[in-house]
């Protein structure tokens, strides 16, 4: 059985506790590895290694840091097939999706921040002819990086790359449900020649290893991506220590389709925006609002397209919907489907475990893509993040109503708006409370743009120079002339 060890000071080390957590392949329900169940002492050792490494890494020229990060990107590319397969086995996602999205994005994350630091600028402020102020941007020290299971390598690299590019060292805590690509990345980081201690990876549960990081006195910065409830716990522990904190949290994203939209495009994109990665993408549109004149036609086409999605063994290139990440998570999602019925909803499609799965994956945590109509906006199924292959559909009659519906949750991560009317698009985009609004598209990402959530979807922005600003401290130097 493969044992996933911690990566501390450039070496793979067993956890002090000697305990391991089983790592289950969601598509089969089989244990495929054991993960270090780390305790605060392991986090202490990782933080100490990172602190030691920081003394020289912070002085390493940007050009050299850039070269090393580019090398990591290159090594991920060289190991593309293996990483895509590991990600799919560990998470349940179709390998085709890992190949199209997760691994290319991990490569890009390293390349993007490797080159961004070569173009970073700081500002200067002349105070008439009396003084010159200039801003230094300096790394903070040890960055604590906590990531979720839905896009394991994609989101882990989205944190590690800017953290170390900016001159910090880091201790990363990947999700205990999906540790395999993080473990492989540790090996590639060593192979690339990143000095020992610059990147440390500690595996284990959030309650033990995660919390040890958020409450560690020598970790001045936390970048966290995960659920909103966990985000509150991160704040509770990091707040009293005045850590710099970035929180990328949950969503309940609206997808608003106006009657004048390009219907074909809107349907073709709403299917993946609802069900891609089994709906386990924080940016998935889980509340679909369709203007009444096209509601029936949209729904017919949307249901017909969704029915055609191929559910099956994630390892098969043709599979479009894989397994949910765990049995517990599937039960949670099924609980919402049952609740939807109690709340007056009608299950138009799905809601069941698929029959006729291939032999290899009969024990996996599959659930059919599910479409629910007839729910009131205030119901729990329309308010709470389900994070599975479940979408609600609701008609609306005016832009004002669509905006009110879109804004009617505590979340504000992303939204999509579909219309051919440019003025309406700008007006509605400006009125929706969310960190990102896509117009006539979904998940089109430019890594330079600010990314993050409003309301309970998060605090702060990452992406491009926002990431480099987060991972550095601004210092003003005022020189009297």
**Applying CB under 6 A, which residues contact ligand NAD?**
146-150, 155, 173, 175-176, 205-207, 210-211, 214, 225-227, 230, 233-234, 248-251, 282, 385, 387, 413, 453, 458
CB 267 within 8 A of CB 383: no
| Cβ count near 357 (within 10 Å) | 17
Q: In what order do the strands lie in the sheet with 346-349?
A: 346-349, 370-373, 390-396, 285-291, 253-257, 414-418, 436-439
Note if 381 is an active site residue. Answer: no
What is the nearest approach in angstroms of ligand NAD to the Cβ of residue 219? Answer: 12
Q: Residue 158 Cβ, how far from ligand NAD at the closest point, in Å?
A: 9
Q: Sheet containing 131-139: which strands, arranged edge to edge?
A: 124-127, 131-139, 472-480
In the bound state with ligand NAD, the residue whose beta carbon lies nearer, of 146 and 171, is: 146
Half-sphere exposure of 347 (CA within 13 A, CB side): 17
Q: How far is the CB of 238 from ligand NAD (least distance, A)?
A: 9
The end-to-end CA distance of the chain, in Å, is: 67
Question: What is the distance between the alpha carbons of residues 198 and 46, in angstroms, rounded to a whole number?
Answer: 10
Q: In angstroms, what is the minimal distance from the CB of 434 to ligand NAD?
A: 11
Question: What does the buried/exposed string (b/e) look like for 88-123 if buried means 16 or more CB atoms within 10 Å of the residue's CB?
Answer: bbbbbbbbbbbbebbbbbbbbbbbbbbebbeeeeee
Helix/strand/coil for 392: strand
Cβ distance to ligand NAD smaller for residue 314 or 458: 458
Min separation Cβ 64 and ligand NAD, Å: 30
Smaller CB separation from ligand NAD, 368 or 385 = 385
Of 53 and 282, the one with the shorter C-beta distance to ligand NAD is 282
What distances in angstroms separate CA 240 from CA 48, 139, 220, 455, one per listed residue?
Answer: 21, 21, 11, 21
Alpha helices by DSSP H, listed for 166-203, are: 180-192
Nearer residue to ligand NAD within complex by CB, 85 or 329: 329
Q: Which of 169, 170, 282, 284 is catalytic?
A: 282
Active site residue 359: no
Q: What are phi and psi of 3, to 5 degrees?
A: -110, 125
Q: Which residue is nearest to ligand NAD (CB)?
A: 206
Closest CA to 368 of 290, 281, 308: 308
Least separation in angstroms between residue 252's CB and ligand NAD is: 9
User: Which of 34, 39, 87, 248 is the catalytic position?
Assistant: 248
Query: Would you say 337 and 1 are in contact if contact means Cβ atoms under 8 Å apart?
Result: no
CB closer to ligand NAD out of 21 and 299? 21
**β-strands 131-139, 142-146: how paired?**
unpaired
Task: Write the DSSP string, 234-284.
Answer: HHHHHGGGT-EEEEE----EEEEE-TTS-HHHHHHHHHHHHHGGGG-STT-
Identify which of residues 9 and 176 has a Cβ nearer to ligand NAD in the complex. 176
Shortest reach from residue 351's CB to ligand NAD, in Å? 21
Enumerate the active-site residues: 248, 282
């Amino acid at each position: 059985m493969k044992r996933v060890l911690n990566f501390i000071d450039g070496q793979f080390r067993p956890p002090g506790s000697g305990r391991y957590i089983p790592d289950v392949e969601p598509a089969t329900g089989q244990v495929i590895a054991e993960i270090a169940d780390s305790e605060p002492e392991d986090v202490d050792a990782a933080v100490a290694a990172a602190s030691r490494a920081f003394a020289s890494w912070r002085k390493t020229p940007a050009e050299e840091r850039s070269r090393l990060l580019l090398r990591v990107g290159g090594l991920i590319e060289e190991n593309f097939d293996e990483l895509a397969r590991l990600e799919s086995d560990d998470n349940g996602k179709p390998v085709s999706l890992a190949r199209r999205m997760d691994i290319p994005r991990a490569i890009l994350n390293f390349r993007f921040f490797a080159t961004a630091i070569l173009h970073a600028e700081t500002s200067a402020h002349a105070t008439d002819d009396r003084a010159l102020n200039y801003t230094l941007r300096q790394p903070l020290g040890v960055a604590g990086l906590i990531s979720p299971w839905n896009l394991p390598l994609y989101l882990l690299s989205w944190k590690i790359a800017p953290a170390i590019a900016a001159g910090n060292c880091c201790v990363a805590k990947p999700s205990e449900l999906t540790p395999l690509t993080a473990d492989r990345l540790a090996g590639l980081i060593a192979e690339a020649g990143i000095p020992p201690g610059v990147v440390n990876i500690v595996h284990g549960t959030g309650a033990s290893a995660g919390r040890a990081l958020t409450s560690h006195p020598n970790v001045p910065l936390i970048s966290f991506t995960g659920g909103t409830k966990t985000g509150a716990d991160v704040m509770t522990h990091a707040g009293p220590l005045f850590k710099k904190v970035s929180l990328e949290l949950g969503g309940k994203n609206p997808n608003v389709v106006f009657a004048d939209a390009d219907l074909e495009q809107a349907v073709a994109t709403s299917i993946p925006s609802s069900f891609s990665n089994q709906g386990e993408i924080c940016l998935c549109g889980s509340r679909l609002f369709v203007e009444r004149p096209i509601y029936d036609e949209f729904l017919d086409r949307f249901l017909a397209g969704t029915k055609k999605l191929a559910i099956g063994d994630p390892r098969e290139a043709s599979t479009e919907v894989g397994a949910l990440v765990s049995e517990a998570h599937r039960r949670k999602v099924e609980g919402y489907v049952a609740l939807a019925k109690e709340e007056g909803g009608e299950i138009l499609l799905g809601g069941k475990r698929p029959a006729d799965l291939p032999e290899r994956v009969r024990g996996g945590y599959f659930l059919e893509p599910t479409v629910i109509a007839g729910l009131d906006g205030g119901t729990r199924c329309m308010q709470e993040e389900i994070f599975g292959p479940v979408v609600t559909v609701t008609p609306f009659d005016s832009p004002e109503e669509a905006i009110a519906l879109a804004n009617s949750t505590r979340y504000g991560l992303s939204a999509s708006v579909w219309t051919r009317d440019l003025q309406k698009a700008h007006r509605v985009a400006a009125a929706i409370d969310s960190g990102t609004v896509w117009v006539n598209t979904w998940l089109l990402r430019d890594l330079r743009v600010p990314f993050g959530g409003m309301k309970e979807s998060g605090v702060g922005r990452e992406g491009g120079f926002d990431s480099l600003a987060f991972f550095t401290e601004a210092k003003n130097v005022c020189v009297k002339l």
